């Protein structure tokens, strides 16, 4: 409030300084001449009474001054002072109008274009805001506010859904994809993304709703890689390994050269192989779950294609090792997978569980220690 008062006083002072000359009035010259001649007549009378001049000189002076007085009076009467008076009134009107209208126009302009209710923010505070907050978090917040005001913006839901997936906000991603499909209509890509979000929200389990979404995706786009892969995963989780193997082999056969997800499918097929083939493949196939190559290959995929696929595999491997902890190869693959995924705490806990499970086998325990040391797990 004090700042507003100071600004008002400064504005008023500036206006007065500029407009004050317009309010001044120039005195009339002829009115001054008449007064002078009248003073001269009085002075002649005083000089005659004091004997300073003779009667003839006094009379001649009276005649001359009277003549000038009459001429000055006639001139003042004949000349019209209206133009000067009108100009004076115009100057005064302009000054008053400027004094009143300029502040009012300035205030109205600020109220229409400015933000008088917005609090000020010091420059230091603005500079202290991290760039990440200005780039990602703030953009997400703006989109969310926009969607709160316009919940029927299908484009907005489709834009933010993949962002939720990357941030691990899987329930929000499910909600966003559901709205995107409702508003924009179903498509193979949207249904597949919707199904993957449901799998991620269920910790890697292909639920009935997710499976239905993948089926709809394949009905709309029979070549959807994501939908076909997860349908194979659903078959594997249901115990239909032959169906899963068939789905993944068909997917592998139709893969374009250099596709980043080829290695992931190959290892899924290897893990799903029958016991005889697994035995011939060596000890690395003794327990299901992702190998380090699985995780590395998945890292080359798009975030929307991999997301929780590896995490679901890791979770199933961890469950199997809890039931049968004698598989040193399985423990090694689990530890490597946790480290690749950046879950060091889980790797630390898994290392402790592995030591307990292998405590009676010195050879396996020694190998486990070497793995732990090589990975830098600790614990």
Sign for the CA dihedral angle at 106, 109, 112, 118 comes to negative
pLDDT of residue 369: 84
- Nearest residue to 183 via CA among 159, 155, 164: 155
- Nearest residue to 107 via CA among 11, 244, 219, 21: 11
Residue 287 in tokens = 């327990």
Do 205 and 237 touch, CB atoms closer than 8 A? yes
pLDDT of residue 20: 65
Q: Are 189 and 245 contained in the same domain?
A: yes
Q: Indicate whether 172 belongs to any domain.
A: yes
Crossing angle of helices 309-323 and 292-299, rounded to 10°: 160
Of 254, 277, 311, the residue that ends a domain is 254
For residues 176 and 154, give the distance between their C-alpha atoms in angstroms, rounded to a whole number.
9
Where does residue 234 rank: exposed (0-12), middle (13-18), buried (19+ CB within 10 A)? Answer: buried
pLDDT of residue 216: 95
Q: Please state, as a whole number, how many other Cβ atoms lie within 10 Å of the Cβ of residue 292.
A: 15
**pLDDT averaged over 10-residue windows placed end to end, the chain, 379 residues:** 69 70 54 71 81 80 79 62 61 72 76 64 54 67 91 93 89 95 94 93 88 94 91 87 89 83 81 48 41 51 55 78 83 81 83 88 85 74
Q: Are 286 and 376 contained in the same domain?
A: yes
Of 203, 230, 254, the residue that ends a domain is 254
Do 365 and 337 touch, CB atoms closer than 8 A? no
Q: Quote the number of domains for the chain.
A: 3
Q: Are 50 and 100 contained in the same domain?
A: yes
pLDDT of residue 372: 84
Q: Which domain holds residue 191?
A: 153-254
Q: Indicate whether 117 belongs to any domain.
A: no
Residue 59 in tokens = 């009379």
pLDDT of residue 285: 41
- Nearest residue to 185 via CA among 228, 154, 147: 154
For residues 206 and 253, give the distance between their C-alpha atoms in angstroms, rounded to a whole number.
24
Sign for the CA dihedral angle at 63, 69, 72, 78 comes to negative
pLDDT of residue 307: 47
51: left (phi over 0), alpha (psi -120 to 50) or beta: left
Of 254, 289, 324, the residue that ends a domain is 254
Rg of the Cα atoms in the chain: 48
Q: Indicate whether 87 belongs to any domain.
A: yes
pLDDT of residue 202: 86
Do 203 and 311 touch, CB atoms closer than 8 A? yes
Q: Are 60 and 96 contained in the same domain?
A: yes
Q: Indicate whether 136 belongs to any domain.
A: no
Do 68 and 37 touch, CB atoms closer than 8 A? yes
Do 229 and 251 touch, CB atoms closer than 8 A? yes
Q: Residue length, the chain? A: 379
Q: Indicate whether 350 belongs to any domain.
A: yes
Q: Indicate whether 312 belongs to any domain.
A: yes
pLDDT of residue 157: 95
Q: Are 246 and 292 contained in the same domain?
A: no
Tell me: the pLDDT tens digits for 262-276? Answer: 888 887 788 766 543
In this structure, what CATH number is given to the domain that contains residue 249? Answer: 1.25.40.10
Q: Is 99 helix (H, G, I), strand (E, B) or coil?
A: helix
pLDDT of residue 283: 38
């Amino acid at each position: 409030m004090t700042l507003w008062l100071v600004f008002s006083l400064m504005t008023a002072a500036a206006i007065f300084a500029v407009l004050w000359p317009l309010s001044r009035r120039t005195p009339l010259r002829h009115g001054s001449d008449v007064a002078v001649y009248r003073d001269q007549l009085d002075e002649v009378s005083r000089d005659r009474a004091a004997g300073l001049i003779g009667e003839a000189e006094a009379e001649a002076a009276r005649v001359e001054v009277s003549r000038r007085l009459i001429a000055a009076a006639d001139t003042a009467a004949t000349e019209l002072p209206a133009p000067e008076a009108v100009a004076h009134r115009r100057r005064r009107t302009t000054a008053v109008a400027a004094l009143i209208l300029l502040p009012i126009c300035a205030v109205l302009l600020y109220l229409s274009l400015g933000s008088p209710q917005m609090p000020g923010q010091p420059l230091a505070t603005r500079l202290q805001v991290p760039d990440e907050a200005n780039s990602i978090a703030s953009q997400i917040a703006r989109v969310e506010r926009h969607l709160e005001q316009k919940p029927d913006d299908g484009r907005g839901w489709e834009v933010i859904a993949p962002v939720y997936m990357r941030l691990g906000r899987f329930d929000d991603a499910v909600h966003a994809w559901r709205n995107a499909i409702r508003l924009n209509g179903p498509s193979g890509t949207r249904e597949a993304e919707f199904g993957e979000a449901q799998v991620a929200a269920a910790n890697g389990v292909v639920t009935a709703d997710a499976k239905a979404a993948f089926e709809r995706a394949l009905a709309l786009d029979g070549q959807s890689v994501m939908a076909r892969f997860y349908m194979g995963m659903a078959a594997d989780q249901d115990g239909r390994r032959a169906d899963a193997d068939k789905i993944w082999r068909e997917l592998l056969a139709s893969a374009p050269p250099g596709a980043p997800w080829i290695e992931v499918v190959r290892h899924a097929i290897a893990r799903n192989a029958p016991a005889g083939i697994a035995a011939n493949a060596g000890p690395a196939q003794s327990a299901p779950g992702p190998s380090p190559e699985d995780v590395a290959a998945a890292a080359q995929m798009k975030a929307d294609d991999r997301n929780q696929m590896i995490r679901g595999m890791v979770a199933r491997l961890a469950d199997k090792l809890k039931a049968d902890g004698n598989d040193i190869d399985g423990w090694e693959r689990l530890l490597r997978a946790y480290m690749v995924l950046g879950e060091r705490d889980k790797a630390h806990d898994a290392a402790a569980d592995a030591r307990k499970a292998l405590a009676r086998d010195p050879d396996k325990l020694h190998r486990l220690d070497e793995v732990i040391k090589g990975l830098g797990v600790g614990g």
